[in-house]
Amino acid sequence: MNWTPNRRMAVIAVVAFALDQLTKYLALQYLGPVQGGASREHTVIDGFFKLVLWGNTGAAWSMFHDSNEALAIVSLVALLALFIWRHKFDTSTWIGQLSLGLIFGGIVGNLFDRLDPHRAQVIDFLRFYLRKRSGEEMGFPAFNIADSAICVGVGLLILLSWKRDAELKNSQKPEAAVSSQ
């Protein structure tokens, strides 16, 4: 099989999407369906990690709550733009292909949740937190595999950008002056 950059990105995207949907399905089976905004949870490591079941109609950290349709459109536009301009990224390297594949798969995973008439919201189920002395929890908002794929993909793109900038900077340094003897 000829593994072109586009084929690698597609396979990575499909794997990220499939893992996202499988884990959301398992979370729904284990914790029950999300109904009426009710949240369910199961403590895995007390004071550190829980499986939760939160329906999110907003974006990251529930910003733009109840904007599911608008965020679905934004996701579609972002997906299309990234696909059209993917050649602007370092897709010649395996890391560049991995990063865009993860981003594509993550966007499609959350978009699928938004467009699914039975869900109409993104399912978040992983939550890391700490418990204050008062007993109150403080922690990172719940997230899912699609969110993780997007964040890791963007992080890899940033690292590739820094690497490319450093290489460009080093290639533009003037040659060391040859000292005359």
SS3 content of the chain, % helix, strand, coil (to 5): 55, 15, 30
- Residue 113 annotated among the catalytic residues of the structure: no
**Distance separating the N- and C-terminal Cα atoms of the chain:** 59
Dist CA 9 CA 149 (whole Å): 13
Catalytic residue among 20, 90, 113, 124: 124
Q: Which three-class secondary structure state does DSSP give residue 141?
A: coil
- Residue 171: HSE in the Cβ half-sphere, 13 Å Cα cutoff: 6
Residue 124 catalytic? yes
Given the residues 20, 90, 113, 147, the one annotated as active site: 147
CB 104 within 8 A of CB 83: yes
Separation between Cα atoms, residue 50 and residue 33, nearest integer Å: 17
Please identify every residue annotated as catalytic: 124, 147
